[in-house]
Structure 1
Amino acid sequence: MDVRIGIQNSPRELGFETSQSAAEVEQAVAAALSGQAPHLKLSDSKGAVYVVPASALAYVEIGSEESRRIGFVA
């Protein structure tokens, strides 16, 4: 699943692929935004961990769980 995180006052975004489900990512984002967690912590499929303060979140885009197709699509 592809995840992109926008950070306030930063021209770049964090983009990575995670093995977590969309529901798990959405639950972590909701907990950070509601104040239950002081930061958003997600890990990618290679084992790297991303920690973003909840107050700095601009947006979180959760992609589809479908794998990308290779080749030509008619």
Structure 2
Amino acid sequence: MEVKIGVIDSPRELIVNSEQTPDEVETLVAAVLGGREPVLALVDDKGRKFLVQASRVAYVEIGPSDIRKVGFAPTV
């Protein structure tokens, strides 16, 4: 699934493709935004770990992975 994180004072968002479930990510984000955790830590589908300081998180969008189609479809 795809997680987009908006970071304060950054014009770009951080996009992480994770194998975690939406509920797992939501629990992590709620703990960070609720002040129980100082850092949002997510692991992507390649095993890389992304850390974002809780005070820098502007927003988090949790959604399904965007499957991009490559090539051309036959015309009818």
User: Scaled by the length of structure 1, what TM-score is found?
Assistant: 0.86
2-side partners of 1:20 and 1:42: how far apart?
9
Letter in 1 for 2:52: V
Q: State the Cα deviation string for residues 12-50 of structure 1 (Å, max 9, x = none).
A: 111121000000000000000001100100010001100
1-side partners of 2:64 and 2:55: how far apart?
26
RMSD between superposed Cα atoms in Å: 1.7
Secondary structure of residue in 2 paired with 1:46: coil
Runs of 4+ in 1 over 2 A off after TM superposition: 67-72
1-side partners of 2:68 and 2:33: how far apart?
34
2-side partners of 1:27 and 1:43: how far apart?
14
1-side partners of 2:50 and 2:68: how far apart?
27
Residue aligning to 1:41 = 41
Identity %: 48
Residue aligning to 2:3 = 3
Number of residues of Structure 1 aligned to a counterpart in Structure 2: 71
